[in-house]
Structures are given as C-alpha cells and as structure tokens.
Amino acid sequence: MNIKNKITAIITGMIFISCQSDVSKAYVPESNGNINTLTVVMNNNLWEGKLGNNIKETLMEPYEGLPFDEPKYDLYHLQPSIFKGFARSSRNIIIFNKDTVGQGFRLIKNLWARPQVTALITGEDEDVMNFYFDENKDLLLRSISENERVEKIRRMTKSLNDDPQLKDRFGINLTFPDAYFTVKDTTNFVWIEKEVAKGHLNIIAYTLPINIDLQKIEERIPAIRDSIGRIYVPGRVPGSYMITERAYLPYYYKTKVNNLDAILTKGTWEVQNDFMAGPYVNYIIKDTVNKRNLVIEGFSFAPSESKRDYMFELNTIITTMEFVK
C-alpha cells in the first residue's frame, strides 16, 4: 500500500469510528427529501450493469397490498462527481465505492444530516460490491424503513390531533395529524378520516373478544372485516358496504405493536353493490391485560392516484399505538 492509500485508509477509518460512535451529537443540518426516497451514488457503468439492475430490483420491489404495483422506494441516481453540497443532505444514501481499501459494508447514522442513514459499500470490482450489497440488504432495508417511519412520525407531530375518541373508547393513543376528523364514534367503533386529492384516508378501531377463533386467519379475518363493514362502513348508495376483495390474496404476518403480539394483514377492499375499492392494512393486536383483541385498520380511497405513500402514512400511524397511562 502506498503512502496516499495509507493516508486515505487512516482518514476513512477515523471518519467511520467517529460516525459509528456518536455522530448524532455533532451539528449537522436537517435532512431533506420526500418520504420513501433513496439516493444511490455510483458510476454510470455500474448503474447500467448487473449491480445497478440488482439494486433497482431490490429497492423498487412492489409495496405490498396495493391493487397495482408501485415501487417501495423512489430511487435517485447520482454520479460520484456531483454528490456534494445539498445532495449530501438526503435522508437515505447508498454509496458504492470501487476501491481495494476498506472493502465491505458500513452503515452510518447522521453523517451529513439528521435524521440520515448512509450505507457505504466498497469493493474492488462490481462482483465484490454486489456481494456486499446482497449480504447486507436485509439490514439496509430494515434501517431505511425504520428511518422513514420515524421521520413520518416526526412530521406528523408538528400538527397533532388531540381528539379524545380513541382514548375514551379504547384507552389508546395514536399519533396522527389534525387533518383527520371523526366520522363515527359508537360504543365499540371509532372511525376517523382525512381528505386527500380525489379521495380520503381512513382509520377505524374496534375490539374483539380475547378468545375469538383466529386459527384459520385467511378465512376468519376477511369474514370479520366483512361483518364490521356491513354494520359500520356503508358505501355511497343504500345497501352498500365495505367488504374484503377476494380477487387479490391478502398478505398475512405475525408482528408486534407496542410489544404486543399482532396479526398484520395487507390487502384490498371493495364496496358491495357499488364501484369503490382500494388497499387496506389491518392489525389485530392481542391485548391480554384488558382481555381483548384490539383491531386498528387503515384504508384509503383515491381513484387514479398513487397509494403507496397514503398506505405508508396509515401504517405508520397504527404503529404509534400506545396505551393511555
């Protein structure tokens, strides 16, 4: 290794040691960019080659549960020569560096801005960089997803809704903007709504018995949704109501909300006897302390509009659920 490379390696090591220890304590500007956007820094020949294709396929995989495919993230490609100044304030950055020094994958928080996640992938050639990307893509995706969730919550807290319906009915709080308003508030059902371009976003909450049968979730969850829709969520014409659309198979996951076991469902809804449809995200949260299953669902109606960011907002709101002390 020549003197220049040694100096570069030492400086790079010092940067990463300081970054990984606690960069967040140093002053950095506020990060920028729309929610669910990524900046990818690499040479054009890599971007147009197999490495670039792998990155696009991985990071632009469809967002689950939408009626039509939309990429999970919007990618912005920059040449290394123009990655400076304002570009470094992007919230999520992936940098590919062709070098024999410092090869590997590094994940850095708040390097040039806050909040920010920066991934540096260094390899001697395209195959090596591709290997490090594949080996660490799950960690990278989780880190970016959480970064975007936290940022969305931060933005929503600037104009919080403080209506008491969810607290009074179910003893819970959700973080959501004051643009939402209450549509329905009954003994065991709360419905809040936010108007958007050509449609609306909705969150509903209700409870189920703690011992309700959820063994065959692919049958029980659609049936529960349909029964709730028939009673509480009417359509635009008499006799119409929201049901689970059977043409698209839902996605089911086991997850946690506020450290409570939950079943997450992502799918699409439609209105019986009317022409309305859209995506939904449904959480059935097992609340053993209060001996109930708490259901919180978000669904959107926005014909001809992109729905990814709408559903991301609804999903983020639900993940903020906490019990009132």
Phi, psi of 46 (to 5 degrees): -75, -40
Output the domain CATH number for residue 238. 3.40.1000.10
CB 198 within 8 A of CB 186: no
Q: What is the C-alpha separation between 42 and 204, in angstroms, rounded? A: 44
Task: Mark whether 242 and 308 lie in a shared domain.
Answer: yes
Average pLDDT, the chain: 91
Distance of CA 165 to the CA centre of its chain: 26
Distances in Å between the Cα of 16 and the Cα atoms of 22, 76, 142 are 10, 24, 21
* Confidence at residue 13, expressed as pLDDT on a 0 to 100 scale: 44
Task: Mark whether 194 and 125 lie in a shared domain.
Answer: no
Residue/partner pairs of 54-58 with CB below 8 Å, 24 or more apart: 54/130, 54/133, 54/134, 55/94, 55/133, 58/133, 58/137, 58/141
Domains: count for the chain: 2
**Whether residue 107 has pLDDT greater than 50:** yes
Task: Mark whether 79 and 108 lie in a shared domain.
Answer: yes
Instruction: Give the domain-ending residue among 156, 183, 215.
Output: 156
Closest CA to 235 of 203, 271, 202: 271
Task: Mark whether 188 and 287 lie in a shared domain.
Answer: yes
Task: Mark whether 168 and 152 lie in a shared domain.
Answer: no
Instruction: Give the domain-ending residue among 156, 191, 224.
Output: 156
Task: Mark whether 22 and 142 lie in a shared domain.
Answer: yes
Residue-wise pLDDT for 40-84, tens only, equals 999 999 999 999 999 999 999 999 999 999 999 999 999 999 999
Rounded to an integer, the average pLDDT of 281-302 is 97
Task: Mark whether 125 and 263 lie in a shared domain.
Answer: no
Residue-wise pLDDT for 150-173, tens only, equals 999 999 999 999 889 999 999 999
* Confidence at residue 28, expressed as pLDDT on a 0 to 100 scale: 86
Give the domain range for residue 149. Answer: 3-156
Task: Mark whether 319 and 306 lie in a shared domain.
Answer: yes
Task: Mark whether 63 and 195 lie in a shared domain.
Answer: no
Task: Mark whether 44 and 139 lie in a shared domain.
Answer: yes
Residue-wise pLDDT for 109-156, tens only, equals 999 999 999 999 999 999 999 999 999 999 999 999 999 999 999 999
**Whether residue 325 has pLDDT greater than 90:** no
Handedness of CA 20, 22, 26, 27 (dihedral sign): positive
* Confidence at residue 14, expressed as pLDDT on a 0 to 100 scale: 37
Task: Mark whether 64 and 209 lie in a shared domain.
Answer: no
CB 194 within 8 A of CB 177: yes
Task: Mark whether 139 and 173 lie in a shared domain.
Answer: no
Instruction: Give the domain-ending residue among 156, 183, 204.
Output: 156
**Whether residue 15 has pLDDT greater than 50:** no
Residue type, 214: L
Residue-wise pLDDT for 220-265, tens only, equals 999 999 999 999 999 989 999 999 998 888 999 999 999 999 999 9
Distances in Å between the Cα of 322 and the Cα atoms of 162, 251, 253, 288 are 14, 24, 20, 14
